[in-house]
Structure formats: C-alpha cells, structure tokens
Amino acid sequence: MADKMPFGEGASINKPPLFCGVNYQVWKIRMKIFINSTDKGIWESIENGPLVSQVMKDNVLVDKPSSEWTEAECKKSKFDWISKTIITYALSCDEFFRVS
C-alpha cells in the first residue's frame, strides 16, 4: 500500500524529510525549507549554534544558570532543542548512528 502513495517517506508538512544516505543535496534543500516553514528562529539556531548564555562574574565570563535566563534566552534555548529534534528525526537509523 505504501509503495502506491504519491510521495515517499517524509513527504509531509508535519514530518521532516527522511535522509537515508542518498541524495544529500535534495534532502538538504528540503530540510532548510521544512525548518524555515516551521519557525525561522529554529533555522537561526542551526546557523548560529546553540545558545551559550554567559554573565560576567569577577571579571570572568561564566555560564549563566538557566534559572536566571530571560524569556528571550529561554525561547532561543527551546529553538536549539527543536532543531536537534527535527534533525535527529529526519535521519534513518543508520544515518543517526553515523552522526551521533
């Protein structure tokens, strides 16, 4: 039944495109479109890397405890976790173990 569907695995606006190790260039374009359509903040999180909130204490930068984060920092941190979720769910088991 599934082989008669007009779209392959991952062809959904709710599910990221699945990468099985072939056609990386096509998957990359589809992932960027999928992520940006979900929320541009998620794509920015991927491009800029994870949030590292720091404060100055005794003239040294130290990591800021998450309990002291602002609302904006919490939102950026959530984008980090959403981006990790989307990327890991878009990989086949073989690809997931290859990159993890």
pLDDT tens figures, 29-88: 999 999 999 999 999 999 999 988 898 888 999 999 999 999 999 999 999 999 999 999
Contact 42, 52 (CB under 8 A): no
Closest CA to 89 of 44, 42, 49, 53: 42
Q: Is residue 91 scored above 50 in pLDDT?
A: yes
**For the chain, what is the domain count?**
1
- Is residue 61 in some structural domain? yes
| Residue 13 scores a pLDDT above 90 | no
Whether residue 14 is contained in a domain is answered as no
- Is the pLDDT confidence value at 1 over 90? no
Cβ(20)–Cβ(92) below 8 Å:
yes
| Helix H or strand E segment including 81 | helix 71-89
Structural domain includes residue 18: no
The CB density around residue 16, as the number of other CB atoms within 10 Å, is: 20
Amino acid at 35: I
State the residue range of the domain holding 87: 24-99
